[in-house]
């Protein structure tokens, strides 16, 4: 059914797939995440017979099979940033807004397309990484199935985390309207924020519990057995974190998007 | 493309009512009121920084006016249902992503207004870009980008067309082509608004003139009434805008 929204979404789909940077960033995000995760589980599977009990206690069949995404997540964020910041840096935004002058319509269309793509890509790579990891771990009979309690939650939440970081990048791109600036802000939020929150733990553990990376640790592992329980959010707190970042990114992005573009 | 006329609203008319736009303390457009009528080419003239592009951005809903309003068919552009089918605009050749091909760029725009795919090939052929449509826009020359901007403006076959300095970077053949294009668009009964600094070009192209200086309207007249006998458009224009020029070069005074 052709409506204004489907038209605007079709435009966003064409824009997304007609750029080489989309494909390169996607490839890097997926390949990097899968490769690092695979190396991690392959090492564990090989070293297992010689590992100490303490080391074995740290092993997480799900979390380890997804560990590469702690780094590859940045590529997802960059995908989100580029999806909107490049419109401003290139000047394309003037064409976009001339074709779809209703700001809420164009923002909704763009958000649905980029968010939908990130969610699909995030879940797809999380499940792929999980299954590859389990195939490797099966050699030592360390693998788990999706039916094991907590496994489905951990894998799907790992994909959800990739989606949320993409949307956070998207929101930053919308607010900052500048690719390099938005990527720097994303990097600060995801990585440097972790260290900053750790530094103030003497006063309050709340900032640490609000960190995206700590939320991802809780959500993406089978048995959250944190080394530092004081800085690790509970499962429900971590889900709240994701929802909070999602809502903040989309709201700030929407607010800025409806302001005039230079 | 016949539409039912709404009572009390003149179709295909661009109308600015007391339009005012400030950037900080700078008043870019100052209480502008005018109408652009169909079936003729209206030239929009004024010195650098006079506020021509700002007016056009306000008409397209890209800049929010501080006071007054800009309407097409009696409604603000931002409320238009399928705006590309109502108004086609060339703002500047830079409103593109250099990494995309011309065909993909036009396809994305066409999708928003459910414009048939074959129309993309038509405007590519019309603007002479058919052979390079699969190349990334980043590899285009200024004139080729300008042609792409004109192709985008024509995409929705709109009854109202706005061109901001369309001759920018065009070769002589291209300049002649855009002139005859604008003449034939007006001949078909469409509304054409064009800004330019090329006086001899404007003298050949436009029927009506809007002249602004420092954001204020200086003239709104048929071109025949604007040029005194024996003078050129350039003479008449320079006379009128003499006091409104902001960025004057040194040593070239007459
Ligand atoms: N985004 C902006 N921020 C601040 N000032 C602006 C902005 N856009 C335009 N201006 C100012 O508004 C005034 C009008 O600019 P505008 O681009 O409309 O002029 P113009 O008539 O199109 O000039 P030109 O013939 O050089 O294209 C100028 O003084 C310009 O510096
Ligand atoms: Mg201008």
| 3 state SS of A101 | coil
Last residue of a domain, one of B157, B175, B210: B157
Last residue of a domain, one of B95, B130, B157: B157
Q: Are residues B94 and B34 in the same domain?
A: no
Task: State which ligand 1 atom lies nearest to the alpha carbon of B29.
Answer: 14
Distance from CA of A252 to the nearest CA of B (A): 20
Q: Which of the residues B103, B112, B116, B163 would you substitute to probe the A interface, choosing the one with the greatest number of A C-beta atoms within 10 Å?
A: B112
Domain ranges, residue B95: 87-157
Average pLDDT on A230-244 reads: 89
Considering the domain boundaries, does residue B67 fall inside one? no
Q: Do A18 and B101 count as a contact with CB atoms less than 8 A apart?
A: yes
Q: Are residues B147 and B194 in the same domain?
A: no
- pTM here? 0.92
Confidence of residue A260 (pLDDT cuts 50, 70, 90): confident
Considering the domain boundaries, does residue B231 fall inside one? yes
Contact B37, B191 (CB under 8 A): yes
Average pLDDT on B224-239 reads: 92
Last residue of a domain, one of B157, B176, B193: B157
Q: Are residues B232 and B199 in the same domain?
A: yes
Q: CA B54, CA B170: separation in Å to the nearest integer?
A: 23
Confidence of residue A200 (pLDDT cuts 50, 70, 90): confident
Q: Are residues B213 and B238 in the same domain?
A: yes
Considering the domain boundaries, does residue B173 fall inside one? yes
How many domains in chain B?
A: 2
The kind and range of the H/E element at A172 are: helix A151-176
Task: State which ligand 1 atom lies nearest to the alpha carbon of B21.
Answer: 12
Residue A1 touches partner B, C-beta closer than 8 Å: no
Considering the domain boundaries, does residue B188 fall inside one? yes
Residues 6+ apart with CB under 8 A from A231: A197, A198, A201, A205, A208, A209, A214
Total CB pairs under 8 A between chain A and B: 92
Considering the domain boundaries, does residue B15 fall inside one? no
Which phi-psi region, left, alpha or beta, contains residue A203 (left: φ > 0; alpha: ψ -120 to 50)? Answer: alpha
Least confident of A117-126, B33-42, B71-80, B240-249: B240-249
Instruction: Say yes or no: CB of residue B241 within 6 Å of ligand 1.
Output: no
Residues 6+ apart with CB under 8 A from A107: A174, A253, A254, A257, A258
The kind and range of the H/E element at B122 are: helix B118-126
Confidence of residue A224 (pLDDT cuts 50, 70, 90): low
Q: Are residues B184 and B205 in the same domain?
A: yes
pLDDT tens digits along A40-97: 999 999 988 888 888 888 888 888 899 898 888 999 999 999 999 999 999 999 999 9
């Amino acid at each position: 059914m052709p409506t204004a929204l489907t038209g605007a979404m079709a435009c966003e789909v064409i824009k997304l797939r007609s750029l080489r940077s989309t494909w390169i960033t996607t490839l890097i995000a997926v390949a990097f995440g899968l490769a690092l995760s695979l190396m991690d589980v392959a090492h564990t599977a090989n070293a297992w017979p010689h590992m100490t009990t303490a080391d074995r206690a740290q092993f997480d069949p799900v979390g380890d099979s997804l560990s590469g995404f702690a780094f590859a997540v940045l590529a997802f964020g960059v995908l989100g940033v580029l999806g909107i910041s490049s419109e401003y840096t290139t000047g394309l935004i003037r064409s976009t807004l001339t074709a779809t002058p209703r700001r809420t319509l164009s923002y909704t269309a763009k958000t649905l397309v980029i968010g939908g793509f990130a969610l699909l890509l995030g879940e797809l790579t999380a499940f792929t990484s999980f299954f590859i990891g389990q195939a490797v771990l099966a050699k030592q009979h360390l693998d788990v199935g999706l039916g094991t309690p907590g496994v489905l939650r951990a894998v799907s939440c790992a994909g959800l985390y990739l989606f949320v970081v993409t949307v956070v990048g998207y929101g930053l791109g919308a607010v900052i309207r500048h690719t390099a600036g938005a990527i720097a802000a994303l990097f600060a939020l995801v990585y440097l924020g972790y260290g900053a929150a750790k530094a103030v733990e003497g006063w309050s553990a709340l900032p640490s519990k609000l960190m995206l990376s700590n939320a991802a640790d809780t959500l993406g592992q089978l048995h959250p057995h944190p080394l530092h329980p004081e800085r690790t959010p509970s499962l429900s707190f971590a889900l709240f974190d994701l929802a909070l970042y999602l809502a903040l990114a989309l709201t700030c992005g929407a607010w800025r998007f409806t302001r005039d573009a230079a | 493309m016949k539409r039912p006329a709404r009572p009390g609203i003149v179709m295909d008319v661009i109308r600015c009512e007391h339009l005012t736009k400030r950037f900080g303390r700078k008043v870019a457009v100052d209480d502008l009121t005018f109408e652009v009528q169909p079936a003729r080419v209206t030239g929009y003239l004024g010195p650098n920084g006079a506020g021509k592009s700002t007016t056009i951005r306000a008409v397209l809903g890209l800049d929010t006016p501080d006071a007054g309003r800009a309407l097409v068919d009696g409604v603000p552009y931002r409320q238009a249902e399928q705006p590309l089918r109502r108004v086609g605009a060339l703002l500047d050749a830079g409103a593109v992503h250099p990494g995309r091909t011309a065909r993909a760029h036009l396809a994305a725009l066409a999708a928003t207004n459910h414009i048939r795919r074959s129309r993309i090939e038509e405007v590519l052929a019309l603007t002479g870009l058919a052979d390079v449509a699969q190349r990334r826009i980043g590899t285009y020359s200024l004139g080729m980008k300008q042609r792409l901007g004109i192709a985008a403006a024509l995409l929705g076959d709109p009854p109202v067309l706005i061109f901001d300095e369309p001759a920018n970077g065009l070769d002589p053949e291209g300049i002649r082509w855009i002139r005859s294009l604008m003449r034939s668009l007006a001949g078909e009964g469409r509304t054409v608004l064009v800004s330019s600094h090329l006086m001899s070009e404007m003298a050949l192209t436009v029927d009506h003139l809007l002249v602004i200086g420092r954001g204020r309207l200086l003239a709104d007249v048929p071109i025949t009434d604007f040029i005194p006998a024996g003078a050129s458009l350039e003479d008449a224009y320079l006379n009128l805008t003499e006091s409104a020029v902001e960025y004057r070069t040194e040593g070239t005074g007459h």
